[in-house]
Amino acid sequence: DVKVTQSSRYLVKRTGEKVFLECVQDMDHENMFWYRQDPGLGLRLIYFSYDVKMKEKGDIPEGYSVSREKKERFSLILESASTNQTSMYLCASSLGRGGVDFEKLFFGSGTQLSVL
């Protein structure tokens, strides 16, 4: 089975800190994604990457950046954490080749980030 691992399950940070959220997948997937999930708002796409060193903005990229130096690892960076970035952050990956059937997403367990 595909495994998507997020480095932290819970994280508490202070306003203004630089925060790194790490995500690793073990199935040679091309695509990787970062979503945030808030009550009543559902899943919103922050950034995604379809190849090493490639990235594209999602719906809510402001205040975030990403890094993909290796195929299996996709990092989300909060440059200067703010309280409105308190959320559940979910990483996902998909194969990205072979047609529609391979575009299903595999999610990590999520990181609940609290910014105080």
Partner 1 sequence: SQKIEQNSEALNIQEGKTATLTCNYTNYSPAYLQWYRQDPGRGPVFLLLIRENEKEKRKERLKVTFDTTLKQSLFHITASQPADSATYLCAPPRLGRGSTLGRLYFGRGTQLTVWP
User: Which residues are near partner 1 by CB under 8 A?
Assistant: 4, 31, 33, 35, 40-43, 45, 48, 50, 56, 58, 90, 92, 94, 96, 100-101, 103-110, 112
- Rg (C-alpha) for the chain, rounded Å, is 14
CB of 66 vs partner 1, minimal distance in Å: 15
CB of 23 vs partner 1, minimal distance in Å: 11
Strands 19-25 and 73-78: antiparallel
Could you tell me the end-to-end alpha-carbon distance of the chain, in angstroms, rounded to an integer?
36
* Cα distance between residue 87 and residue 43, in whole Å: 11
Question: Which residue, among 88, 114, 98, 115, has the nearest Cα to 29 in the 3D structure?
Answer: 98
CB of 104 vs partner 1, minimal distance in Å: 4
Structure tokens at 99: 């047609």
CB of 16 vs partner 1, minimal distance in Å: 27
